[in-house]
Amino acid sequence: MRLVLFEPDIPQNAGTMMRLAAALGVAVDLIEPCGFLVDDRRLRRAAMDYADFLDLTRWTSWRRYAESPHPGRLVLLTTRASQPYTGFAFAPSDRIMVGRESAGAPDDVHDAADARIVIPLRPEARSINVATAAAMALGEAIRQIGASF
């Protein structure tokens, strides 16, 4: 299983998701450009020493990522989906993608996704923090596939 960060805007969120992935043993694909320097001190501070054992692959663009072969399905976590994440059947080879904090994922990323899932929210709530959403989806995926350390 992999967590895919599509052009993140906020280093603290990216660092939090990297720390989460490292602690859970989930690899990370970071699709650039980011809204910050990848070696930004805030990113390193949020990831803390977990960055030392993070399985991280950096991609210079969405095009490079999309043109490369990847195992498993690309599962996009988006507010534009109708399938609740808790009703989705995750597989060990899934790549769970989160979009930019400011704009989500563009249409071409939506079109490339094998599945799109959503965290149901109250009607008046627009969205939740991307790192929180990633944690919820990864937690459910790991629960379903029965991963253990």
Identify the burial level of 52 via C-beta atoms within 10 angstroms of its C-beta, where 0-12 means exposed, 13-18 middle and 19 or more buried. exposed
What letter does residue 2 receive in the DSSP assignment? E
Q: Which residues, including other chains, have CB under 8 Å from residue 67's CB and lie 6 or more apart?
A: none
Terminal CA-CA length for the chain: 14
Binding residue per annotation — 102?
Answer: no
Q: Which residues, including other chains, have CB under 8 Å from residue 109's CB and lie 6 or more apart?
A: 6, 62, 76, 97, 99
Binding residue per annotation — 146?
Answer: no
**Alpha-carbon Rg for the chain in angstroms:** 14
Binding residue per annotation — 119?
Answer: yes
Known binding residues for S-adenosyl-L-methionine: 77, 99, 119, 127
Known binding residues: 77, 99, 119, 127
